[in-house]
Structures are given as C-alpha cells and as structure tokens.
Structure 1
Amino acid sequence: MDTSNEDSRPHKRVKIEEDNTVSQHNSKPPTTSDDNMKEIEVGINTWMDSSRPVFHGILKKRYTDFLVNEVLLDGTVAHLHSLSAKPSSDSKIAASTTISRAPDRDDGHKGSGKDQSAENTVNSGIGGLVRQDEGHVKSGGAQISEEDQAKLVEHFSEETVQELISLYQSILESPEKKSREHPIVRTSFTSDRSVRPLIHGDIRRIFQSKIDSATDNDGVLVLTAASRGPRGRGGDQQPKGRGLSWKERGGDHVHFNLYKENKDTMEVVSFLARSLKVAPKAFNFAGTKDRRGVTVQRVSAYRVEVNRLAGMNRSLRYAAIGDFTYEKHGLELGELNGNEFVITLRECRLGADWDQLPEDQKLETAKEYLSQSLDQLRNQGFLNHYGLQRFGSFMSRTDTVGLKILQGDFKGAVDAILQFSDVALEAAKSGDTSTLVGQDDRARAEGINHFNTTGNLNEALDKLPRKFSAESSLIRYLGRQRTDYLGALLSIPRNLRLMYVHAYQSLIFNLAIGERWKLFGNRVVEGDLILMHEHKDKEAQAQADQDVDADGEVIIQPGEEDRANDPDTMFDRARALTASEAESGAYSIFDIVLPLPGFDVEYPANALGQWYKTFMASEEGGGLDPHNMRRKQKDFSLSGSYRKVMARIGETYSVEVHSYADDDKQFVKTDMDLIKESKAQNGGTSARASRDATTTAKDENATENGKTNGAGEEEAEAEDKPYKIAAVLRFQLGSSQYATMALRDLSRGGVQAYKADFTGGR
C-alpha cells in the first residue's frame, strides 16, 4: 500500500437517502427507516426491552468510523504493526502482542484501560507454540500435563487419547522415521465448524506441532506424524533461490496481517493471487470481514516468499500486508475467537428536547445512556439475530434464492440472482450523473441486460464487473447451455452457492427467535435445547432425573437413529431440557440454542418445535418440511446446525463521547495512521507504541466526561456551525455475531447506517 500522503483514502461514502438520516442539526430522524423495514422482512422484529427510549446516531458516515480487528484463538487482537519483509522471530507476536485494550475509563466498567500485555503476551517459538508453564511438554518423552490430558478427553474418547500419546511417543523416540512409518490414529470428528479449529489448535499446541490433523472425505479425523519429506508440511525442500529450507524457516505457510479499507477480503486475496501468479487456494483465512470499514485479519499463504508478499504493498491500494511469520500450518475457516469493534456514531441525539439541551448536558446524557446500554449488552445480552448482511443487498434477497433452490425451482433461483433494477439500467444507458446509482450497479445491470437481450456471452462479461462472481458464473454457463439451470447454479463457486440455502436457514432462525421471545421471554422452559458438550458437569444430574428400571438402571429411549457409539454427540448434539432441569436454575437463557433447519437436528420439544413445522409448511415459509431437508444435490441437502438464542459482548468495553463541528473529523486512528505517524517521526516510535499512546492518552482538552472540551465550540464559533455529538464504542463479539445487531439493541433501532450509493433497489 502506498502510504504517502498523496494516496488518500476514501474518507466517506456518498449520502443519497436524505430522509433516513439526520442531515441538519435540528432535523428529527424518522421513526421507521428503510433499514428498519428490511430488518422486519428478515425476521428481525423483536425487542428485548421496548420501554427504552430510542437513541439516534449515524453509523459508517466515514469508513474509519467502523474498525474491525480479528481476535485470534489465543485472545490477542490482530493489528498491523510493520510492512517490513523481515519475518518476526516470534511466530505469534506479530499478530498482536497484547489484548487491544479500551481507553481509560472513569465509570467503573470492566476494560478500564489497564495494560494487560504482561498477562496476555503469547510466548512461542518458530513453527509452533511452546508451553511456558509447569505442564510443559518435554522434548525427552511424551509427558502430557494433566490439564492437557483432560482437554484431550473433552475432545476424544480415552482410548483415542491413549493412541495419540502413543503416536507422540513414537515420534519422539524415532524422529528420523517417515510419517507413514509411525502409527495412524483415526476417530470420528465433529461437524461443528466452530469447534473444529479449536480441536486442531489444541492438537498442535499439546503435541508441539509434531502431529498433523486432517479430515478425510468421510468426515473422519486422521492424525499422523507431521511429514518430514520434501513435499510434506515442514519438509526440507528449499525455497527457490534461497539457502534455508521451509522447515528451517519455521514452516511452509507464511502468516501475515491484512489491513484493508472499504474492500472485501476475497477482493484483496484474489488480487494477491493474480499478481503473484499463484492459485487462490494458496491463501487461507479464518473468516471474511466487513467491506464497509477498516479491518485487520490474519491470512496465511502456502509457500509464497515473504519478499514477494511484502513487495505487493507497492501495488495495493487502500490495503496493506505485514507482520510476517513462518508457520507449519495454514489457517482454517473459523479459526478465530471473534472480532473487536471500534465504532464511531455521529450526530447522536436522544429525546424530543435534545436541541434545547446545553452541550455539557448532551455529552453527559449520551454517555450515561450508552454506558448503561453496554452494561446491558454484557449482562443481559441481546438477541442473536443474523444481520442484514446475511441476506444480500440486491433486489432478490439471498434467502429468496435459497428457498427457490430448496423447492427445486432452479430457473426461478437463476432469475432471482440475475435480477436488476430498471433505475440502474436506465442510469447506465443514459449516462445520467445526477441519478445516484453506483458505477458497479450500473455496470451489473447493463451486463446482465445485454446477455438477456443479445445472448452475447463475451460482451456481457466484459461489461460485468469481476466482483460479481455469481452472476459471471451463471452467464458463462448459460451462454453455452441456455436451459440447464441446475448446472448453472452448480457452476457458482461453492462458498457462494451454499450462501443462498444457508440464508434461508438464517431467515427461519431469526423468525424462531422472535417467536420464542414472544412465547417465553428470557425464561428457560421445558423442551428448550442445550448443546450436550457444553454441560457435561450437569449430565449426571440429568441422568438422575431420567426413568430407571427395577434394577435402578437408566432407561434409554432410542431415537430414529442410534447414535450411542457416535463420539460427535459430545460436540454438536443437542437435547431438550426436562421440566425439573428447566426449573432447577442450572441453565440460563445464554445456554439455550435453536436449530437451523436440517435433517440431522433436534427441534424444541415444546410449542416452538411445532412452530417450525407449521411456519415452514406455510406459503410464507415455502411449503417445506423441517424434517425433510435432504436433496439430490449434496450442497443443497441441509443437515442443520445450532445457534445460541442470545449473544453478549466481551468483558472489556468502553464508550467515549465528543462534540464536533467538522463532519470530516476522525476520532480514532487506524493502524495505517499510526504507521504513517511512526514514519514521520523517523522511526522514533513504533506503530505499537503509537497505538498504546493513542489508546490510553486522553485529549489534552478532555474532561472526565470524555468530551473534547472547547474544541467543538471553537470550531462552531469559527465556522458558524452548530456542534454535534459523536460517540466512540469499543467492544468484542464472538465469531458469527453481528455488531449491527448489538447496536440495534443498544439504541433500540435508532442507529442507522449512512447510505452509500444506490445498490440494487431493495
């Protein structure tokens, strides 16, 4: 990335829907916005506390108002520190040395800004984590700590654990042997993608990266000695033109931090792959990040030279990579703990008499409201809805496409994906610059329409922006086989075509949350589902509550399919609570899960279970049977999964409030801002040190309320502008939890996204 001052970032997005945002200081926001209506359409229609007043604010008015940093498995937060090609000598420290901490607080909340670096620094060597405690795995023998053995028993049967330890002993005793000469351990493996990365990580940590874990085509976990050959992981094959082997460097995979502004993860990764002339599959990451914001995440590349990667910073725009390390393993999807958000809300207001309040009172009122709201998000949680991002941004929602696929209406699904707005097409044809329609949307409409009217494949693809890969795949396939709609759908990259049917599951889940809240609120009731592997300590009591025979043996009631010997039950199986369990107080609303429809899930054994069947069978639900989700095409055959009813923010959170008059004022520095500052100081201060100073130091004019005292007033007086109120929120969420849903509950729907250019006409 060009870090010169000339390469300015796109600071803010084009505002086009004046009615849905607050453009004038004395204008009153509408009670129902376009986003509110869209949320209702996808089942986001329930409030935990409808008595709270609405807090209004604008989200993402500038890209730098929405900062997202990945939280790694060890709890550290990924930050971009250095663009240097020199790899760190510490394999994890480049990701982030400390838990990114909240600014100093004066309100007694957790996350008060105390430095946690000492207790959160990860001690590791090249090629794998090294335990620094008394339970350290010694190199002279297979000595596993009791704590680690207990961890393994959580994942596997005791027999499998013993086989693993024997395999490790064999590796330590005969390190010269090839991988295939050591024992191989096979065991059933969970299908829960949120659990798999944690298990892989525990195996690497406990066995010092000497045991590889992989899943075969049958879903069986295969554990083998890490390969030592020239083609295996950590092999001795030398990188081209270099003296050190991949093994000597630390591993075949180069891990790095990816910083990006207003770009999709795949957009940057695809550019890297094309530019470096490597296959896109050489790159892996734990999860995609929001396009509309500034994000940092960890990415891995298989056998790509660090110098080549670092050299890409000269070509990247609004993106950068750095903090390189060599590792033995690449990243896997889901291999993260969540994300840290630093969110700036602008033009904040609360109550009808807001304009009559003095500045100090506005600051105090806003901070008090938001502090209480964050406390509630931590202690009481919020409904764990899927956010609007899950359902797409064009005329046909992704769940609508998914329903047509599940109904077997493949032509309808293709037509829905290729639907476009007449407004976008007309703007493309006329070249009218006064119509606020984005260039990509114009080009998309023009490309699809050209294919529909002329059938010319190549000309249509030339008009269609590369980012629309699903549309490109359909046009490319239909240009050869015009009526094979199933084949066209299957030509879409697998991760995208799965998105459609998963979006239908998400819609049902959102609606189910609302129905459950209406029926039971936050009470735990008989028939509620819990994940079995999360409550082993309570299973003994659960068995005591079951029926017993004359000899005192528990009577097991078999289900449709016998899973008695399935080790996966400890991971991703759910069961219904009995009446006595629900009343015992041993379970809270945070333990309760709801199913995403599928053929291999349990449904609640109460009125909500019947709701699934009734709603999905209705016209609105698509006329589907929740117990019959198998389809001839494997990717469209849904086994189902579970998701928590409630989510909550992490223990560390904070809020600051500011007054301002300049709409372009930036309240939080990005990682790239800090790197530029460091360069301007001629290396006198590292980016990490700059971040710490920025995070902990208060503005020299700040008061205990966190306002920029006097700054807003001086700007307003100088430019004759009314001052406004901004709030900066910092909190963490687990993976697959939506910050927009947390903000919705925090403000009772008053926080609305700043409208970008026209996207799809919904």
Structure 2
Amino acid sequence: MADAEPMLVPAPGGEKRACPASEDEVDHSTKRPRVQKDEKNGGGHSHKPAQDEAEEPEGEETEPLEEEDGEGAGLGSGEAFAEMMKHGLTELDVGILKFVSEHKGFSGILKERYSDFVVHEVNKEGKTVRLDDLSVPEEAEVADDTKEKRTLVHKAVKTLYPGLETKTEEREGKKFIVAYHAAGPKALAAPRKHSWPKSRGAFCHFVLYKENKDTMEAINVLSKFLRMRPNVFSYMGTKDKRAITVQEIAVLKAILQDNWNEVIDLILKPRPGAEKGYLVKCREEWAQSQDPEAALKKLPVKRCVEGQLLRGLSMYGKKNIITAFAMIPRNNRLMYIHSYQSFMWNTMVSRRIEAFGLKAVEGDLVLRGGTAFVLSAAEAETHSIQDVVMPLPGFDVIYPTHHVGKGYGEMLSADNLDIDNMRHRVRDYSLAGAYRRILIKPSDVSWEVINYDDPRISLVHTDVEKLEDQPPPVFNKEGKYRALRMEFSLPPSTYATMAIREVLKMDTSIKNQTQLNTTWLN
C-alpha cells in the first residue's frame, strides 16, 4: 500500500493542541478480476456499510531486516503462508456478517501487491494531499558575511546541536557553512532544549509517503531518527499494511478486566500464524523462561510492540506491569481498545440490519448537532437509514432502545464487563464511546476495467513515480489479466474495504484473500 497522508508534529516549546480536523512473476491462464482502488479519505456521504475493519496493532520490525534462510515461518512461500493464514481472522470473526446490496457480485483479489491500495488524505479545504515536492530550502551563501558572523553561526550550531560539527566550504566559487554528524561520544549527545520561533506556528506540517508499512511502523522509524517520542506525531487514522494478528480483542478484554498477567501473556505467548522468525524465537523464549531480558535478546530490533513491552518488564519488573505496558507507544496501546469497540459495533450493526433492514425504525439513534437522540415511531418515518448511527460502547454514549440496543449489555456481560462501568483506573483505557453512521455514501466515485499482461507492474501511477518522472503504466487492451480500478472519497471513520466488499459480495479478510490468491497462482 502506498499512502500519502498529512502529518503534524508539535513544535518544540509550542502549545500542545488537538490535531486540526480534516479528516512475482507468474503465468496465469485464467482471467480473474484484480481489484485496484485509489481511495481518498475526505468528505462525502451511503449505500456502503461503514462496518469496521479490525484495527490491528502489529508486532513487526520498524527497520528493514534480512531474514535468515529458513526463518520467517514460511513467509517466502505462498502455499506455506496460506497454510498459516488458516489461523487468521475472517469477517465473521470480527462481527461483519451482512451485505446491503442486492446484486450478484463477483470474485476478485484485493491487495495482491501493496501498490494496489493507494490512499490520499483530503484536507479540510477539500484538496487531495499529494507528495509533489521533495526540494529542500536553498542553501544560504555566506561569501559576503564577515568572519565574525560566520564564527557566531558555528558557535550557535555547536551550542544547540552538540552532535553536529560545522565548517565553511567553498563550492563553485561560493562559500557555505555545512553541518556534519560529529564523530565519537558527541555524536550521541542530545541537542539542548531551545525555543521554537512563534512565527512558525505550533505544528510542523508535512506529507508522509510510505509503502508496505502501516502508519505506526512508519512513525516509529521517524521517531527513532528524529529522537522524538512517537506520541508527538498526530495523524488522521491508521493506514494499514497487510497485517496478520488475532490477539487484539482478547487483549482489550483483559485490560478492562484488570487482568494484567493475561495482557502480557496474550501479547508475548507463541501464536499460530505467519510471523518473522525472530518473533517466533522471542515468543518461544518467553514461554520457556518468562525472562524478559532473555526474550528481548532474540529481537534484532526492539521497537516493535513485543520489544517495547519486554523492555518495560526488564526495567520495572512483573510487579509493575501497568507501567511496563505503558512503554508501548500510546497509539499502539489504544489500538487494542479500539479493536474491541469495533468488534462490538460490527456485531451490533449486523444484528440491526438483520432485524430491521435498511430503514429507520423506532428506537434508532440519530445525531442532532453532535448529540444523539432516540427516534419515536413518527420521527422514524422522516429519517432514512443514512441518518441512523450506532454507538461504539462507552460511558459517554446512549444506546438504541429497541432489542438490538439491549444486545450491547449482553455482549459486555458475556465478557465479564459492565455496560454501566466503562471507566478504568488508567484514564487511557477508559471507554468513552462514540457514534458512527451505519451507512455512508462515497463521493467522487469512478471506475474502469483494465486488461494487462504483467502481474508485476503497478496499475496506479504513484506520487513517487511521478516525482521520478517515471511514465504511467501502459496497458494492453487484449491483456490476459483483468483488473477493476476504482476511485472514491470517504469521510473519516469509514473503510474502503467495506465499499469493495459490497461490490464483490465476498469475504475480504486477509485469511480469505490469501487462500484465494494462492489458489489462483496455482
């Protein structure tokens, strides 16, 4: 997946504010649709079910690593990978059960290549965010500066950034002050705190382009090289990679139940499925020894979820598990919370569609100025299904008054949770709740069928390819493979995969898609 999304980093010393709103070579003899989508997250309003995809905190490395021969639990083999994905989640497992359209549908493969899934954010002015400029500020020539002025610049850099060394260089007859990484102990010295000019605003706003990485993995890489905490970055949603995890819902339940030993076990214990070889070894070590330092030594990179948790356990011990768990970046920890809420929302929406279909009914909820209200029988006649919202469970929401709404309490009780007590002694793990519309109508919809011959080529001209002046892909109208390329815009908290699911009328989970892809390749 190639993404371009706006990012915000609070300026040093600036006021902390909420993020502004914007919300391989194969020979196939059979033609099969390949679904290619260019999604833009932005405004728009549907006959697309806005059911949640399971949000997946990953346990993958934040740096590229060469996998040893025989490692990776068969990741290099399509058949072995498909075999492992038998342990993955299906749509049924996360509560996605119903379709709202009546057409027959067809078979297609999603995300055969990561470049098949291109996401561009839409800013609050309605402009699609793209990476279209890699230029750096022009270097300031210092030829006309006096030696005294140049000395002041050298001293200022040395004071503010002990890890840098400067010198004046002459290039093409012009003089420049150039900064280099210092050698020796100074190279690791942190820059001294300094104030950020108020004229620059409270945020540094930039566009992040990433390929085959989820958002938090990319943020971890940036935080490492910028020497900043991951939680200083603000972004709209999490753009996924082709992820494989099955533990997040169980982890959240254990958190809410205050069963912290279970939380640790669920994250670190061996699990079925496809993982990097070093993660498999790390989990095996933990299962055998329960020694965080020994398990940590099995990880060549420590900035994954498992590595951060093991570091916390090494530092604070098993008697301070909550503190150790907090070593995991906040956004990763909150993914566990959101996954459970999404699971419940999916399940309740599926029940709501099954019980009442695609019309507003008495007891449904609608929003008026951000506040939820229960519809009377008369009011339901004046509203459509596109007005109806369902709550994510929490202490700050109300629930539908019909029998489907009562199912929230029943589901929570089955997990030993109390619908009337969704607060946690750790504020981050309290569930406030929110409302989401059942159906959202995408805007700016367009589509085309493409025939092509080479399964290795990208079917979308990406921002980076444009910057590199690479020509757009050329397609053979008589090509032996066929793809459906769709483009549309969505508001926040909706999911493109659910729109594709309505077109295909099939399970879009990675488990099913992997099996389908492997069968096709064979």
1:609 aligns with 2:405: yes
Q: Given that residues 91 and 508 in structure 2 are in contact (C-alpha distance below 8 angstroms), is that contact kept between their aligned partners in structure 1? A: no
Residue of structure 2 in register with 1:287 after alignment: 237
Residue of structure 2 in register with 1:220 after alignment: none
Which one-letter code corresponds to 2:278 in the other structure? A
Relative to structure 1, is the Cα distance of residues 23 and 450 closer, same or farther in structure 2, using a 3 angstrom cutoff?
farther
- SS of 1:56 mapped into structure 2: coil
Q: Given that residues 649 and 732 in structure 1 are in contact (C-alpha distance below 8 angstroms), is that contact kept between their aligned partners in structure 2? A: yes
Q: Given that residues 269 and 286 in structure 2 are in contact (C-alpha distance below 8 angstroms), is that contact kept between their aligned partners in structure 1? A: no
Relative to structure 1, is the Cα distance of residues 56 and 468 closer, same or farther in structure 2, using a 3 angstrom cutoff?
farther
Residue of structure 2 in register with 1:632 after alignment: 425
Identify the match of residue 577 of structure 1 among 353, 357, 375.
375
Which one-letter code corresponds to 2:387 in the other structure? D
Identify the match of residue 41 of structure 1 among 67, 75, 93.
93
Identify the match of residue 216 of structure 2 among 263, 266, 270.
266
Which one-letter code corresponds to 1:645 in the other structure? I
> Which stretches in structure 2 are left out of the alignment for 5+ residues?
1-23, 35-84, 139-192
Identify the match of residue 245 of structure 2 among 394, 398, 413.
394
- 1:27 Cα deviation from its structure 2 partner: 9.2
- 1:514 Cα deviation from its structure 2 partner: 0.8
Using CA pairs under 8 Å that are at least 6 residues apart, name the structure with larger relative contact order, 1 or 2.
2
1:649 aligns with 2:406: no
1:597 aligns with 2:433: no
Q: Given that residues 594 and 643 in structure 1 are in contact (C-alpha distance below 8 angstroms), is that contact kept between their aligned partners in structure 2? A: yes
Which one-letter code corresponds to 1:418 in the other structure? L
Relative to structure 1, is the Cα distance of residues 231 and 287 closer, same or farther in structure 2, using a 3 angstrom cutoff?
farther
Q: Given that residues 424 and 430 in structure 2 are in contact (C-alpha distance below 8 angstroms), is that contact kept between their aligned partners in structure 1? A: yes
Which one-letter code corresponds to 1:39 in the other structure? E
- 1:26 Cα deviation from its structure 2 partner: 7.5
- SS of 1:656 mapped into structure 2: strand
1:513 aligns with 2:318: no
Aligned Cα RMSD in Å?
A: 3.5
Pairing of 1:95-174 with structure 2 (within 5 A): none
Residue of structure 1 in register with 2:465 after alignment: 673
Following the alignment from structure 1 to structure 2, what is the Cα–Cα distance between the partners of residues 59 and 497? 28
Relative to structure 1, is the Cα distance of residues 26 and 410 closer, same or farther in structure 2, using a 3 angstrom cutoff?
same
Residue of structure 2 in register with 1:414 after alignment: 264
Q: Given that residues 216 and 332 in structure 2 are in contact (C-alpha distance below 8 angstroms), is that contact kept between their aligned partners in structure 1? A: no
- SS of 2:90 mapped into structure 1: helix
Residue of structure 2 in register with 1:755 after alignment: 514
TM-score with structure 1 setting the length: 0.46
Following the alignment from structure 2 to structure 1, what is the Cα–Cα distance between the partners of residues 335 and 270? 19
Moved more, 486-495 or 413-422: 486-495
- 1:731 Cα deviation from its structure 2 partner: 0.9
Which one-letter code corresponds to 1:45 in the other structure? L
Following the alignment from structure 1 to structure 2, what is the Cα–Cα distance between the partners of residues 289 and 733? 14
Which one-letter code corresponds to 2:305 in the other structure? A
Residue of structure 1 in register with 2:332 after alignment: 496
Identify the match of residue 84 of structure 1 among 108, 112, 135.
135
- 1:78 Cα deviation from its structure 2 partner: 1.0
Residue of structure 2 in register with 1:368 after alignment: none
Q: Given that residues 56 and 750 in structure 1 are in contact (C-alpha distance below 8 angstroms), is that contact kept between their aligned partners in structure 2? A: no
Following the alignment from structure 1 to structure 2, what is the Cα–Cα distance between the partners of residues 511 and 258? 34
Which one-letter code corresponds to 1:512 in the other structure? M
Following the alignment from structure 1 to structure 2, what is the Cα–Cα distance between the partners of residues 731 and 503? 25
Relative to structure 1, is the Cα distance of residues 477 and 664 closer, same or farther in structure 2, using a 3 angstrom cutoff?
closer
Following the alignment from structure 2 to structure 1, what is the Cα–Cα distance between the partners of residues 222 and 417? 42
- SS of 1:745 mapped into structure 2: helix
Residue of structure 2 in register with 1:445 after alignment: 280
Per-residue deviation, residues 548-576 of structure 1 (Å, max 9, x unmatched): xxxxxxxxxxxxxxxxxxxxxxx3x2110
1:473 aligns with 2:295: no
- 1:740 Cα deviation from its structure 2 partner: 1.2
Relative to structure 1, is the Cα distance of residues 414 and 576 closer, same or farther in structure 2, using a 3 angstrom cutoff?
same
1:74 aligns with 2:24: no
Which one-letter code corresponds to 1:84 in the other structure? S
Q: Given that residues 590 and 645 in structure 1 are in contact (C-alpha distance below 8 angstroms), is that contact kept between their aligned partners in structure 2? A: yes
> Number of residue pairs matched?
387
TM-score with structure 2 setting the length: 0.66
Identify the match of residue 299 of structure 2 among 458, 464, 481.
464
Residue of structure 1 in register with 2:416 after alignment: 623
- SS of 1:522 mapped into structure 2: coil
Relative to structure 1, is the Cα distance of residues 578 and 231 closer, same or farther in structure 2, using a 3 angstrom cutoff?
farther
- 1:598 Cα deviation from its structure 2 partner: 1.4
Following the alignment from structure 1 to structure 2, what is the Cα–Cα distance between the partners of residues 253 and 486? 31
Q: Given that residues 656 and 728 in structure 1 are in contact (C-alpha distance below 8 angstroms), is that contact kept between their aligned partners in structure 2? A: yes
Relative to structure 1, is the Cα distance of residues 626 and 24 closer, same or farther in structure 2, using a 3 angstrom cutoff?
farther
- SS of 1:501 mapped into structure 2: helix
Relative to structure 1, is the Cα distance of residues 748 and 486 closer, same or farther in structure 2, using a 3 angstrom cutoff?
same
Moved more, 606-615 or 72-81: 606-615
- 1:660 Cα deviation from its structure 2 partner: 2.2
> Which stretches in structure 1 are left out of the alignment for 5+ residues?
1-11, 16-21, 88-229, 236-246, 293-391, 425-436, 534-570, 679-689, 700-706, 713-722
Following the alignment from structure 1 to structure 2, what is the Cα–Cα distance between the partners of residues 34 and 643? 31
Residue of structure 2 in register with 1:209 after alignment: none
Which one-letter code corresponds to 2:100 in the other structure? M
Pairing of 1:370-389 with structure 2 (within 5 A): none
- 1:268 Cα deviation from its structure 2 partner: 3.1
Residue of structure 2 in register with 1:95 after alignment: none
Relative to structure 1, is the Cα distance of residues 70 and 26 closer, same or farther in structure 2, using a 3 angstrom cutoff?
closer
- 1:657 Cα deviation from its structure 2 partner: 1.0
Q: Given that residues 80 and 672 in structure 1 are in contact (C-alpha distance below 8 angstroms), is that contact kept between their aligned partners in structure 2? A: yes
Q: Given that residues 33 and 484 in structure 2 are in contact (C-alpha distance below 8 angstroms), is that contact kept between their aligned partners in structure 1? A: no
Q: Given that residues 409 and 419 in structure 2 are in contact (C-alpha distance below 8 angstroms), is that contact kept between their aligned partners in structure 1? A: yes
Q: Given that residues 58 and 752 in structure 1 are in contact (C-alpha distance below 8 angstroms), is that contact kept between their aligned partners in structure 2? A: no
Residue of structure 1 in register with 2:182 after alignment: none
